[in-house]
Amino acid sequence: MTKNIDLKEYWENKPQLLPSVSIDCVTLGFHNNQLKILLLKYKNTGYYALPGGFINLDEDLEDAAQRILEERTGLRNIYLEQFHVFGSNNRRNDDTHREIMAGCDIEIKPNNFLLNRFISIGYYALIDFTKATPSPDELSDSCMWYDLDKIPTLMFDHNEIFRKALETLRTMLDEKLICFNLLPETFTMNELQNLYETILGEKLVRSNFQRKMLSLGILERIEKKMTGAANKAPYLYRFVGEAY
Amino acid sequence: MTKNIDLKEYWENKPQLLPSVSIDCVTLGFHNNQLKILLLKYKNTGYYALPGGFINLDEDLEDAAQRILEERTGLRNIYLEQFHVFGSNNRRNDDTHREIMAGCDIEIKPNNFLLNRFISIGYYALIDFTKATPSPDELSDSCMWYDLDKIPTLMFDHNEIFRKALETLRTMLDEKLICFNLLPETFTMNELQNLYETILGEKLVRSNFQRKMLSLGILERIEKKMTGAANKAPYLYRFVGEAY
DNA sequence: GCTTCATTGTATCTTTTTGATACAATGAAA
DNA sequence: TTTCATTGTATCAAAAAGATACAATGAAGC
């Protein structure tokens, strides 16, 4: 159990972290025409949670969020956006923290960093599913993608955090061209439309959607994509607009 | 100097506050067809700042923001919205805090709460100018309205916080009918248009603006307002849409 | 009392955007 | 060669937005 001894040391003498502040990330990907969210499952407890973490005392908030997600996805320079701070007074979860740690054979001492009230800064991340390689942290045994309509009950207020993230994403979809962060380098118009439809939760008219997208002047048409299906092959497109 | 002795006690043994977290409020009002912002000026230092404060250990984040602004405006149930968290690592301002306190004859002891890194949660508040009664806190000698184009240089990153607030307000203006929080109970179409124009920073066509607003079905037409001017009297309107 | 004038409320016309539908082109399977 | 689902584009109608015009109004000036 050398690993657990290291962990023990780490969590018992938690290094210099900014008190009271945590980060939780609603990490979205798009695959098989489905929006997916990245979730952790803690060891031996059955608790599901959003990937999250704390801020080093000498670290920018944004850097912390990037670091936390880099550790879970292997990606750098992720599209990350703050959407809300969750700061209700009842965000104290001593017992849950103890349970989670106990699941890793770690005992939390009375004055531990974790046994305090935390506010959580919510970030949503839009990432290219094909490039991410999810990996669990030391406290969890899985880090996996879940369909948005199959999200299990999450720890603390994490279900609410997800709901708010999706709400913000919906309103932002019209404001900024952010959804291309969810697609691979090249994609078909159909995939793009499916993405819009899943985020907005409504069907769009194909021909009008295509007209609208093409009129924005942000798509470069590449070669055709021979799907092998018994029908006309769609074009591939590349996003050439201003990156977010 | 009994008052300063009280203050001294208060700030030297700062009560139970949530560490690392502060709140700053971009508080906007509308008067004489001008957007105004509420600013504090600290005693004996010349420092201008956004109204702000800390969160009690047993207080919801939202309640703290409401309390902080209630203390400055006398208003309850203010329209308040988070817009961004400012968390760069260089948000440590020991010297400035010492100066401000020194301006009130208070010495900050080495382990004081203030001598740490703080993140700041930015809120913007939209309030009815006619109902607010600005009052400074113990550390400042003025709490006043300033025209948006005459904002002095502010402490720390407060100018940047303001800029970001205005940016958010602009995008939210189309999303939600929030600007009525800035107007008194009744108002003319002209006042409403001026408000939109100042926030958006562009001129709108009067007739089209009126058509648009009336078509939303959120305005109730009251009696006419006799201005005394040598021209047709405008109608007064009342906002009857869904409140935010 | 009549004229003058800036402002207001509304109407009208045009342009642009959006919504709905139709249709020819395509690529592989039958 | 036929068939068929899908794709790209065109077309027509409806709605929204932009631009301009004009009559109504309320007080001031004469």
Query: What is the interface pTM, i.e. ipTM, of the complex?
Result: 0.91
pLDDT digits (tens, 9 = 90+) for A44-63: 888 999 999 999 999 999 99
Would you say residue A244 lies in a domain? no
pLDDT band at A9 (very low <50, low <70, confident <90, very high): low
The residue with greater pLDDT, A158 or A103, is: A158
CATH number for the domain that contains residue B207: 1.10.10.10
Let me know whether B44 and B123 are in one domain: yes
What is the arithmetic mean of pLDDT over B115-138? 95
Which chain A positions have a beta carbon within 8 Å of B86's beta carbon?
Answer: 61
Q: Which two structure tokens, joined as six digits, stand for B229?
A: 């001017």
Let me know whether B193 and B86 are in one domain: no
pLDDT at A1 over 60: no
Would you say residue B29 lies in a domain? yes
pLDDT at residue A216, rounded to an integer: 96
Which residue, among A16, A59, A61, would best test binding to B if mutated, counting the most B CBs under 10 Å from its CB? A61
pLDDT at residue B115, rounded to an integer: 87
The residue with greater pLDDT, B171 or B229, is: B171
Average pLDDT of chain B, as a whole number: 91
Q: What percent of chain B has pLDDT over 70?
A: 94
Residue at which a domain ends, from B134, B160, B179:
B179
Q: Would you call B121 an interface residue with chain A, using a CB distance cutoff of 8 Å? A: yes
Strand C lies under 7 A from the Cβ of residue A89: no
Burial class (CB in 10 A: 0-12, 13-18, 19+), B165: buried
Please state the three-class secondary structure of A64-85 as a single string: HHHHHHHHHHCCCCCEEEEEEE
Count structural domains, chain A.
2
Would you say residue B244 lies in a domain? no
Residue at which a domain ends, from A174, A206, A225:
A174
Strand D lies under 7 A from the Cβ of residue A215: no
| Beta-sheet pairing, A219-224 with A140-147 | unpaired
Domain residues for the domain of B51 are 2-179
Strand C lies under 7 A from the Cβ of residue B188: yes
Would you say residue A207 lies in a domain? yes
Q: Say whether A60 and B84 touch across the interface (CB within 8 A).
A: no
Residue at which a domain ends, from B136, B156, B179:
B179
Which chain A positions have a beta carbon within 8 Å of B92's beta carbon?
Answer: none
Sequence-ordered alpha helix ranges (H) in A91-205: 94-102, 158-175, 189-200
pLDDT digits (tens, 9 = 90+) for B63-98: 999 999 999 999 999 999 999 999 999 988 788 888
Let me know whether A159 and A105 are in one domain: yes
Q: What percent of chain A has pLDDT over 70?
A: 93
